[in-house]
């Protein structure tokens, strides 16, 4: 016998038909909820591909415990996002890196031009992971459904079409952001290694140039000393052996 559920949103103003994002059991007594046929995403979000006026393709997930009675479990599974709005629609603000609620208490939605100021943090659309198709009986969202799910995200004032969402299970809401962290760490490490290699090349080049200059200076000094020693030797020889003067001729007019 299937476990009972009562999917609802915090606002309780408008409650669309929704089903849990997976089987309910003793291990997972409370789950996020999405509209049947929509895609359950990481970070307690839902996605859809059908056309919806002023929609973005994303909304916050509901909760299978519509009474919100089990606070200890709901605090980590069912969010309180956009609780003041009648609709759970959201838009991603790429300039600020946050999600913005974009429905109003009167039941209207304006996600593309004028979302509300209520924001919350979650992974960017490109980092979200699909793990279930709402209403499916299999344990995972089927490949054909998830690969064709090109969910539409909205930055403030413009619409962005995202690439296909990868189908993979997720255990925590930090999965999407951790991938980005590892990518950034890899770039930083590569940059550091490249910088060290460049510095090593510069140091070796300067050292070789310095040694070359030192050898040239030493050769010049040796050559100069050799020339000076040769001149000193010649000077000493002249002092020891002065040149012989020619014999003066006698004057025949002087008698003995």
Name the residue ranges covered by the structural domains of the chain. 19-172, 174-239
Half-sphere exposure of 146 (CA within 13 A, CB side): 20
Q: Alpha-carbon distance 36 to 17, whole Å?
A: 8
Q: Is residue 181 pLDDT above 50, yes or no?
A: no
- pTM recorded for the entire structure: 0.55
In contact, 70 and 80? CB cutoff 8 Å: no
| Size of the chain in residues | 256
Which backbone phi and psi does 67 adopt, to 5 degrees? Answer: -85, -10
**pLDDT band at 15; cut points 50, 70, 90:** low
Q: Is residue 207 pLDDT above 60, yes or no?
A: yes
**Could you tell me the two tokens for 56?**
């973005």
DSSP structure class, residue 162: P
**Segment among 2-6, 93-97, 107-111 with least mean pLDDT:** 2-6
pLDDT at site 169: 34
Q: Is residue 102 pLDDT above 80, yes or no?
A: yes
Task: Give the tens place of pLDDT for each residue, 41-80.
Answer: 999 999 998 888 888 999 999 888 887 776 646 667 777 8
pLDDT at site 251: 57
pLDDT at site 214: 74
Q: Is residue 154 pLDDT above 70, yes or no?
A: no
**Could you tell me the two tokens for 16?**
């669309």
């Amino acid at each position: 016998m299937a476990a009972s559920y009562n999917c609802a949103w915090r606002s309780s103003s408008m409650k669309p038909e929704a089903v849990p994002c997976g089987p309910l059991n003793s291990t997972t007594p409370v789950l996020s909820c999405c509209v049947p046929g929509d895609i359950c995403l990481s970070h307690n979000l839902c996605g859809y591909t059908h056309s919806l006026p002023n929609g973005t393709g994303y909304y916050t997930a509901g909760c299978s415990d519509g009474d919100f009675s089990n606070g200890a479990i709901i605090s980590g599974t069912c969010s309180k996002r956009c609780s003041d709005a009648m609709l759970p629609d959201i838009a991603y603000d790429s300039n600020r890196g946050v999600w913005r609620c974009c429905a109003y208490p009167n039941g209207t939605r304006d996600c593309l031009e004028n979302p509300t100021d209520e924001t919350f943090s979650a992974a960017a659309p490109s980092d979200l992971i699909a793990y279930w198709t709402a209403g499916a009986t299999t344990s995972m969202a089927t490949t054909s459904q998830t690969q064709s799910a090109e969910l539409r995200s909205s930055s403030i004032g413009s619409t962005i079409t995202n690439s296909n969402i990868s189908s993979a299970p997720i255990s925590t809401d930090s999965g999407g952001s951790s991938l980005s962290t590892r990518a950034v760490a890899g770039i930083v490490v590569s940059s550091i290694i490249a910088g060290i290699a460049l510095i090593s090349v510069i140091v070796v080049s300067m050292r070789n140039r310095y040694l070359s200059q030192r050898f040239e200076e030493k050769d010049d000094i040796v050559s100069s000393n050799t020339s000076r020693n040769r001149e000193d030797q010649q000077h000493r020889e002249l002092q020891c052996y002065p040149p012989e003067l020619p014999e003066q001729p006698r004057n025949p007019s002087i008698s003995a």
